[in-house]
Amino acid sequence: MEIMIVDDEPQVAEVLATSLRRQGHSTTVVHSGREALDRLKSVAFDAMFLDVSMPGMNGLDVMAEVRRLRPSLAVVVITGHATADEIEDVKKMGAVDVIQKPSALTHYHQAIERLHATATTRKPFPRLGDV
């Protein structure tokens, strides 16, 4: 799978990227929402790991734009600081999974397994305003 990792904490992003590469996935790491959206326009990613709490454009804003640009993209949300309302919002927007940071790498591996299991049946998710 071609996976984008969006996290403003470089150490977290690199640990996850290294682990995913060891599993045979290709990864692209970006550190801002704007950079993620720019890359999304030029690369056909299969999945995205997206941090919610980032400076500038937060994960909720990125998720809304992802749904507009690539409605069927599988998004796994990673967060250490999101509120219950923010987590509920990303689930409504179609997040495949929500993982709390810090988290054992096994949680990330389990999320990838769920992505593989749903890859052939995934349909575009509704936009938040449509729910």
> Does residue 126 sit within a domain?
no
With respect to residue 30, please indicate whether it lies within any of the assigned structural domains.
yes
**39 found inside a domain:** yes
Asked if the model's pLDDT at residue 131 lies above 80, the reply is: no
Asked, for residue 125, whether it belongs to a domain, the answer is no
**pLDDT score recorded for residue 127:** 45
108 pLDDT above the threshold of 90: no
Q: At residue 105, does pLDDT exceed 60?
A: no
Q: What is the pLDDT at residue 128? A: 46
CA distances from 127 to 1, 21, 38, 101, 105 (A): 24, 31, 20, 26, 30
Give me the percent of the chain exceeding a pLDDT of 70. Answer: 81
Which range of residues forms the domain containing residue 95?
2-120
**Alpha carbon separation from 52 to 58, 116, 121 (Å, rounded):** 6, 23, 26
Residue 34 is predicted with a pLDDT of 96
The pTM of this model reads 0.77
What pLDDT is attached to residue 90?
A: 81
Q: Write out pLDDT tens, residues 42-90.
A: 999 999 999 988 889 988 899 999 999 999 899 999 888 778 888 888 8
Q: Is residue 45 part of a domain?
A: yes
Q: How many domains does the chain have?
A: 1
* Residue 23 belongs to a domain: yes
We report the CATH number of the domain holding residue 92 as: 3.40.50.2300
In a domain, 129, yes or no: no
For the chain, the three-class secondary structure string (H helix, E strand, C coil) is CEEEEECCCHHHHHHHHHHHHHCCCEEEEECCHHHHHHHHCCCCCCEEEEECCCCCCCHHHHHHHHHHHCCCCEEEEEECCCCHHHHHHHHHCCCCEEEECCCCHHHHHHHHHHHHHHCCCCCCCCCHHHC
User: pLDDT tens digits for 1-56?
Assistant: 899 999 998 988 998 899 899 989 999 999 999 999 999 999 999 999 999 888 89
131: in domain: no
